[in-house]
Amino acid sequence: MSFLEKVCKEYGIDLYPLSVFSPVKGMEDFITRSKGGASIKDSEGDISIAIDDTAPARERDAIAAHELGHVILGHLDGKYKLSEEQCENEARLFSAVIIAMSLYDKYRSYIKAEF
Ligand SMILES: [Zn+2]
């Protein structure tokens, strides 16, 4: 289980392969779709993230981070009047920071082990 899969589990977010993900009709306003992934909040408030299961593992982590960004930044809540482009830019930035932080933690572990 990857770091991001653990985070999603802690947030109670279900992860699905994109190939079996079929949004509920009428819920399109609560869905974000990106290349390789999608996130959805259903009528009961449950959140799911779908990830392209054919993508390499590192890419799946980036997709999960991007979709998690949509969730944590409130893009599925419909409260914020951001354009789709603004939401995508925020999710991209969120994903980049999460991936960089995870690499930094690995780098710090490597440095501690070496010196
Ligand atoms: Zn997106």
- Give residue-wise pLDDT tens across range 44-68: 888 889 888 888 888 888 899 999 9
Distance 94 CA to ligand 1 centre (A): 10
Q: Which residues of 65-85 are buried (b: 16+ CB within 10 A; e: fewer)?
A: bbbbbbbbbebbeeeeeeeee
Residue 23 scores a pLDDT above 70: no
Model confidence at 79, pLDDT cuts 50, 70, 90, reads: confident
Distance 69 CA to ligand 1 centre (A): 8
Q: Which of 62, 73, 74, 70 is nearest to 98 (CA)?
A: 62
Residue 30 scores a pLDDT above 70: no
Distance 70 CA to ligand 1 centre (A): 7
Mean pLDDT of the residues in the chain: 83
Structure tokens at 9: 């589990």
Residue 18 scores a pLDDT above 60: yes
Distance 100 CA to ligand 1 centre (A): 18
Q: State whether residue 101 is helix, strand or coil.
A: helix
Phi, psi of 80 (to 5 degrees): -100, 140
Distance 114 CA to ligand 1 centre (A): 38
Q: Check residue 91 and give its pLDDT.
A: 94
Model confidence at 32, pLDDT cuts 50, 70, 90, reads: low
Check if the beta carbon of residue 39 is closer than 8 Å to that of residue 70.
Answer: yes
Distance 112 CA to ligand 1 centre (A): 36
Domains (range + CATH), the chain: 3-114 (1.10.10)
Check if the beta carbon of residue 18 is closer than 8 Å to that of residue 37.
Answer: yes
Distance 63 CA to ligand 1 centre (A): 9
